[in-house]
Structure 1
Amino acid sequence: MLPKKIVVALSLASCLALPPAAFAQASRDGVAEDMVARSVFQVLLGEFALQRGDARLALEAWADLAERTGDPQALARATEIAGFAGRNDLALALAERWRQAEPESTRARQAEAALLIQAGRIDELGPQLAALLAQDKENLPGNLLHLNRTLARIQDKNAVLELVDRLTAPYLDLPEAHFALTQAALAAGQEPRALTSVEQALRLRPDWEIAAIARAQIQSRQSNTKAFEDLQAFVKRYPEAREARLALARLLIGEKRYDEALGHYDALIKASPDDPALLYPGAMLALQQNQREIGRDRLERLLKTPFPDRSTIHFLLGQIAQEAGEKDKALGHFQQVTSGERYVAARARSAQLLLELGRGEEARALLHETRGTTPGERTQLVLSEAQLLREAGRHDEAYATLDKALTTQPDDPELLYDAALSAERIGKHEQMETWLKRLLTLQPDHAHALNALGYSLADRNIRLPEAETLIGRANKLAPEDPFILDSLGWVQYRRGRIGEALDTLQRAYRIKPDPEIAAHLGEVLWIAERRDEARRIWLEARQHHPDNSTLADTLKKFLP
């Protein structure tokens, strides 16, 4: 059986061999049969050549047929094949003949216009596009809106603007004409002209969301204030304008005005309560503003929609539950994170929760069976396992785990830092210094590494000038970090500057009432003969942190 295209082509060939009057005369002269046979042969030759991938032969057959008969259908097919074969010059000539043979054909004009655009012959393009616009009055608004997309391949954007100016001139009573001018002016970098045109579009159609959003985008390049004012006024006048409200919310997010943005997402979600495109950013904004229950509700609703990234939703819900102390619920969510960039983090958090639930061996087994695909993920798994071991009091094993990981990733900053702290805990001070100095070679401005090395020296009461220099550098990098301030106060105390140490430690404690800062502050107060204050701070800290070893050692030393 012949392919359908070939059957259609054969039918066409029998019809286009000669016009009807000529066909009648040819029949009387005995010519018609030869003409039909030749046409059928050329159609078959052209189509079978195309099927074999021989575009050159196909084009020769169809172009000759089109030239010989002048038939619009043959010209259309020849134009199509010439374009496919990359013969744009011939395609354009054929398209022009096609349009002349069939002046009312929209397809012919569209083909010619497309080829003129491809050839960059913008001066010849205008009449064809003008005729297309005039021919299709029913779809004129939409055609005006698509005008710039049609002209997108032309590189000379100022020439495009001039062309759009001419093409829209008869239709300036339509807002779409002014919007087409807006788009062309923007592409040409003429923002004042674009703003004038979009304002005119809005005068003709005041409730047009697309134009209101475009105006705000143009205004925001000069003044966010004006963009906000006009878009807010538009949303106030047209509260059902969903896209405009969404654009306004995004502008507000860009300016970090999260509370206002959240209000708009609240309104949008109220109107479309099951829209994933609204629920996800609405949930993120609610969480950003510490409205956890609203955020949780929206994330849970997302799970009932076709939202594709369910693992991310479960991870976020797990975080919320973990922060609320709902360990079993959090574990359930983390266990449903089965893929994506949060997979390893979810497994690490699951292990931590299992440990807290008294299932330590299960936690470690979970980490061992998890495979990280990137160096960062492998690091995260090692750090999680070391943390589990430390919390179980198995500090030597934690150190060994980190030491082993550094043999394959010797320059990983996170591993170096955690391994150094682990070495410090078991008294391997030389190894701690080696790793921290290596880290500082890689990242000289690593504030926490500077602080850790300086604090270790100060706490052992050795090389105090060096310790203060290290901690001072860390303090300049992070002046409000309470733990760095604690180290600074501690080294000041070790160097005998009691008043200075007291001021620094009190500042650290105001920022974060941590039990170790409380231990240091209490000791300095005790030495300063302010013992009642020292007792109060220590006992208050012990009430909230009864298991902190540094605080317990300090209390044993001063309040046996």
Structure 2
Amino acid sequence: MKPITPRVLCTALALACSVPALAVEDATVARQAASSARQPRKAPPLAPQPDEKDYSGLSGQVVYQALLAEVALQRGQGEFASDAYADLARRTRDPAIIARAVEVAGQARRVELVLALARLWIEVEPDSKRAQQVLVGVQIMTNQLDGLAPQLISMLQKDPAALPANLVALNRMFARSTDRQAVLALVSAVCAPFYGLAEAHYAVAIAASAAGQQARALTEARQALELRSDWEAAALLEAQILAQKSPAAAISALQGFLARQPKSPDAQLQLARLLVSEKRYSEARRHFDQLLLSYPNNPDVVFPVALLALQENDVALAEKQLKHLLTLELQNRSAPYYYLGQIAEDGKRPDEALAYYGQVGPGEQYLPAQLRSAGIVARSGKLDEARSLLQQAAASRPELRVQLVIAEAALLREAKQTEAALAILERELQRQPQQPELLYESALLSERLGRMEVVETRLRKLIELQPNSAQAYNALGYSYADRNIRLVEARQLIEKALQLAPDDGYILDSMGWVLYRQGDLEGALAYLQRALAQRHDAEIAAHLGEVLWTLGRKHEAQRIMLEAQKKDPSHEALNEAIRKFSP
């Protein structure tokens, strides 16, 4: 859908967004501000050249004051200049001088003065469209919404040709207002005389949705569609409102609209996105494929097609579309470079993957690109080079320093250098002793080294800092359960973690493990089965295998552990359980 550009309210919209937009509509008005005082209004004089001002016919005092104000303005003395022009405006009551005074006060960001001058302007020229726009704009910007409805209605009525577009744009005027209920009341009052137009209901729907009144928003959006059944914007708004509670209902609504209006690309694109959010990938793929035929060079179509292809493991199509995406006009190319790097990495093309990851700039993909690059380099046997890469990234992006330090420690941990990994975290903790992620990761490494005193200190500190951290409760409870100590306290900690995150696979595993330690085999089995269903993790499989073996279900235990070993053949805990129970 092409954007709609309003005419009558465009100036008021600008005013609602920034004070400097308080500029006179015609540049010649500003240049003639001083010259128009006390002149009879016959034929307008010739406009002076852009770099000169015409002061002919003015009294010496007015000319002097206008010149003084202009010189002050050029020297950056906005308050003095606006005061001088405001005084002139009040004494002369000349519309052109008032207009110039409004402009200067706006440049000085003196909103209250602009408001007073706008009211004077309306008093002097009641029918001035420009004066009405300035007054309405400043009232909106200062959240003085009471009594605005009659003025806005009048402004809308004066330009019937632009009425639909101006109704659609109406809510943009109130973008900075924090009182969304007051905005809804005002928009409803302004739109009431125009309810025969779909655009009036659309405007009220937008305001109602922003105010949290979704039922009314949905009713108004549907009324807009009844008046204009082919209006794509109204169909998209209806779907957006529905999706907040029921994506399935939004999908159904868009499908119904597309059945009536099949050539509605924005609606089809939104439908495809909703289908993706509901994991209905094959249906989404059909819509994206249709869009791709009509819009092969639209990044909003090409990129989702590539990601869906990745989701469905169609690597060739994904790579083709991502490379095509790089030939199109994009503001940010980091995402396609990142996914191309993933494809190359999974395809065992490390040099190509590193080249792609190296093209990823600041943004959402930067950190994972750095981590993956370091992983590739480390796996090639160049651990020091991988660490250097992360250290350089941390130096250039200090806001990511914690994550990058933790990643460096992880490289050392995977290289069986646990002491060195912990030392890196300890050094960073000296700089940031209350940083939650560092406390958590250092506790986990200390647990590997058997330093339970450090584990307890760090995790209890983390619980103090973040009393709703399910991971902290779980980590401490699991440490006790795994060592078969303080089992009552361990269970209490894990139960607290489960209250905070009831569907977390790792916490379910911890609960199963502490129940196993307490001798509740059936209870342990139920939790561990739920945990493995939530997350296919080697350690969870090892725990479940041990419980099944203890229950006498040996074949089932062996099957689960051996299947997990195929996916993670180097997992220590799993391999130890297999050696123990499957000789």
Q: Does residue 436 of the first structure (1) align with residue 459 of the second (2)?
A: yes
The 2-side partners of 1:193 and 1:521 are apart by: 52
1:198 aligns with 2:224: yes
Distance 1:511 1:233 in 2: 35
Q: Is the 8 A contact 1:95 1:111 kept in 2?
A: no
Q: In the aligned structure 2, how far is the partner of 1:247 from the partner of 1:556? A: 53
Alignment-mate amino acid for residue 357 of structure 1: S
In 2, the alpha carbon distance for the partners of 1:158 and 1:528 equals 67
- The aligned amino acid for 1:387 is A
- The CA deviation at 1:221 is 9.1
The partner residue of 2:394 within 371, 378, 384 is 371
1:77 to 67, 82, 96: 96
- 1:157 and 1:532 map into 2 onto residues whose CA distance is 66
Task: Please tell me whether the aligned partners of residues 204 and 217 of structure 2 are also in contact (alpha carbons under 8 angstroms).
Answer: no
Structure 1 residues 58 and 392, CA, compared in 2 at 3 Å: closer, same or farther? closer
**Offset, 1:355:** 0.8
Q: 1:415 matched to which residue of 2?
A: 438
Give, as a single letter, the amino acid of the residue that structure 2 aligns with 1:142: A
Q: Which residue of 2 aligns with 1:71?
A: none
Bigger mean CA deviation after superposition, 389-398 or 546-555: 546-555
8 Å Cα contact 2:29/2:99 also seen in 1: no
Is the contact between residue 149 and residue 189 of structure 2 (CA under 8 Å) also seen in structure 1?
no
Among 105, 110, 113, the alignment partner of 2:129 is: 110
Does structure 1 conserve the Cα–Cα contact (< 8 Å) formed by 2:187 and 2:203? no
1:48 equivalent in structure 2: 67
2:109 aligned residue? none
What corresponds to 1:102 in structure 2? none
Q: Matches of residues 201-216 of structure 1 in structure 2 within 5 Å? A: 201-202=227-228, 206-213=229-236
How big is the shift at 1:179? 2.4
Please name the residue that 2:125 is paired with. Answer: 95
Quick check: 2:309–2:315 contact (8 Å CA) kept in 1? yes
Alignment match, 1:387: 410
The match for 1:339 is 362
Instruction: Report if aligned partners of 1:318, 1:331 keep a CA contact under 8 Å in 2.
Output: yes
**Could you list the per-position Cα deviations for residues 196-239 of structure 1 after superposition, in whole angstroms to 9, with x for gaps in the alignment?**
8635642xxx5343454456667889998876555433322322
State the SS of the aligned residue for 1:371: helix
Are the counterparts in 2 of residues 436 and 449 from structure 1 also a CA contact under 8 Å? yes
Counterpart AA for 1:81: R
For 1:241, the equivalent position in structure 2 comes to: 264
Counterpart Cα distance in 2 of 1:526 and 1:223: 44
State the 1:354 CA deviation.
0.8
Amino acid at match of 2:459: L
1:311 Cα offset (Å)? 2.6
**Cα deviation code 1:115-166 (max 9, x no counterpart):** 6747888798599758843xxxxxx433443267579589787677666666
> Partner residue of 1:25?
none
Are 1:63 and 1:78, in contact at CA under 8 Å, matched by a contact in 2? no
Q: Deviation of residue 339 (structure 1)?
A: 2.1
| Deviation per residue, 1:56-87 (Å, 9 max, x gap) | 6667778988x8xxxxxxx6634522543642
Answer 1 or 2: higher relative contact order, Cα 8 Å, separation at least 6: 2
Query: How has the CA–CA distance of structure 1 residues 521 and 62 changed in structure 2, closer, same or farther, with 3 Å as cutoff?
Result: closer
Q: CA offset at residue 389 of structure 1?
A: 0.9
Q: Matches of 2:245 and 2:351 in 1, distance apart?
A: 52
1:148–1:183 contact (8 Å) kept in structure 2: yes
For 1:558 and 1:429, how far apart are their aligned partners in 2?
Answer: 28
State the distance in 1 between where 2:457 and 2:205 align.
62
Aligned to 2:296, the other structure's residue is in SS state coil
Tell which deviates more after alignment, 269-278 or 115-124: 115-124
Name the residue aligned to 1:141: 161
Instruction: Determine the C-alpha separation between the residues in 2 that align with 1:544 and 1:55.
Output: 74
User: In the alignment, which residue of structure 2 is the partner of 1:309?
Assistant: 332
TM-score, scaled to structure 1:
0.69
Decide which of 258, 269, 294 is 1:271's aligned counterpart. 294
- C-alpha spacing 1:270/1:56, structure 2 compared with 1 (3 Å): same
1:103 corresponding residue in structure 2: none
Number of the residue aligned with 1:136: none
User: Match of 2:361, SS?
Assistant: coil
Matched-pair contact (CA < 8 Å) for 1:420–1:431: yes
Distance change in 2, residues 1:223/1:519 (3 Å): closer
Match of 1:38 in 2: 57
Report the residue type matching 1:95 in the other structure: E
Residues 322 and 5 of structure 1: is their aligned pair in 2 closer, same or farther, counting only changes over 3 Å? same
What is the CA deviation profile of residues 361-396 of structure 1, one whole-angstrom value per residue up to 9, with x for unaligned ones? 110111222226888722212211111111212122
Which residue type is aligned with residue 114 of structure 1?
Q
List alignment gaps of at least 5 residues for structure 2: 1-26, 44-54, 74-80, 106-113, 140-145
Q: For residue 57 of structure 2, give the secondary structure of its aligned residue in structure 1.
A: helix
Deviates more, 1:269-278 or 1:512-521: 512-521
Over the aligned positions, Cα root-mean-square deviation in angstroms equals 5.1
- From 181, 203, 218, the counterpart of 1:183: 203
Q: Where is the helix percentage greater, Structure 1 or Structure 2?
A: 1
> C-alpha distance in 2, partners of 1:235/1:442?
51
More moved, 45-54 vs 425-434: 45-54
Any idea what SS the aligned residue of 2:354 has?
helix
Structure 1 pair 301–44 and aligned structure 2 pair: CA distance change class (3 A): farther
Change (3 A) 1:41 1:363: same
Deviation, 1:536, is 6.2
CA positional deviation for 1:498: 5.8
Deviations 1:229-251 (A, max 9, x none): 55433322322222343455566
Task: Please give the alpha-carbon distance, in whole angstroms, between the structure 1 residues aligned to 2:350 and 2:217.
Answer: 55
* Residues 46, 59 of structure 1: 8 Å contact kept: no
- Residues 260/88 of structure 1: CA separation in 2 closer, same or farther (3 Å cut): same
Once the 2 structures are TM-superposed, how far is the Cα of residue 482 of structure 1 from its aligned partner? 5.2
The count of residues paired between Structure 1 and Structure 2 equals 507
Taking structure 2 as the reference length, the TM-score comes to: 0.67
Q: 1:291 to 1:55 in 2, by over 3 A?
A: same
Residue pair 1:83, 1:91 contacting (<8 A) in 2 also: no
- Bigger drift between 355-364 and 399-408 goes to 399-408
Structure 2 counterpart SS, 1:38: coil
Deviation at 1:440, TM superposition (A): 3.6
The answer to whether residue 375 in structure 2 is matched with residue 355 in structure 1 is: no
